[in-house]
Structure 1
Amino acid sequence: MSASLALLAAGLLAWPSSATARRQRLRALLPTAAPARPRRTPSGPPGVRRRWTEAVAGGLVTYLLLGGGLPAGLLAAGVVAGLERLLRRSGAPPGDAEQLGRDLPVACDLLAVCLQAGTPVGTAVAAVADAVPGPLGERLTAVGGLYRLGASPQRAWADVAAPVDALARTVVRAGESGSSVVPALQRLAADLRGSARSRTEAAVRRAGVWVLAPLGLCFLPAFLCLGVVPLVLGIAGDVF
Structure 2
Amino acid sequence: MIARTLTIAGSDSGGGAGIQADIKTFQELETFGMSAITAITAQNTLGVQKVYPLAPEAAAEQIHSVATDLGVDATKTGMLATADIVKTVAQKIREFGLFPLVVDPVMVSTSGHVLLDEDARIVYKKELIPLASVVTPNLPEAEVLTGLSLADPDSRRQAARMFVEWGAKAVVIKGGHGNESTADDLYYDGEEFSVLSAPRFDTKQTHGTGCTFSAAITAFLAKGASTYDAVKQAKEFITAAISHPLNLGRGHGPTNHFAYRHRRENR
- Give the TM-score normalised by the residue count of structure 2: 0.21
Q: Would you tell me which structure has more strand in proportion to its own residues?
A: 2
Structure with more contact order per residue of length (Cα contacts < 8 Å, sep ≥ 6): 2
Computing the radius of gyration from Cα coordinates, the structure with the larger value is 1
Q: Would you tell me which structure has more helix in proportion to its own residues?
A: 1
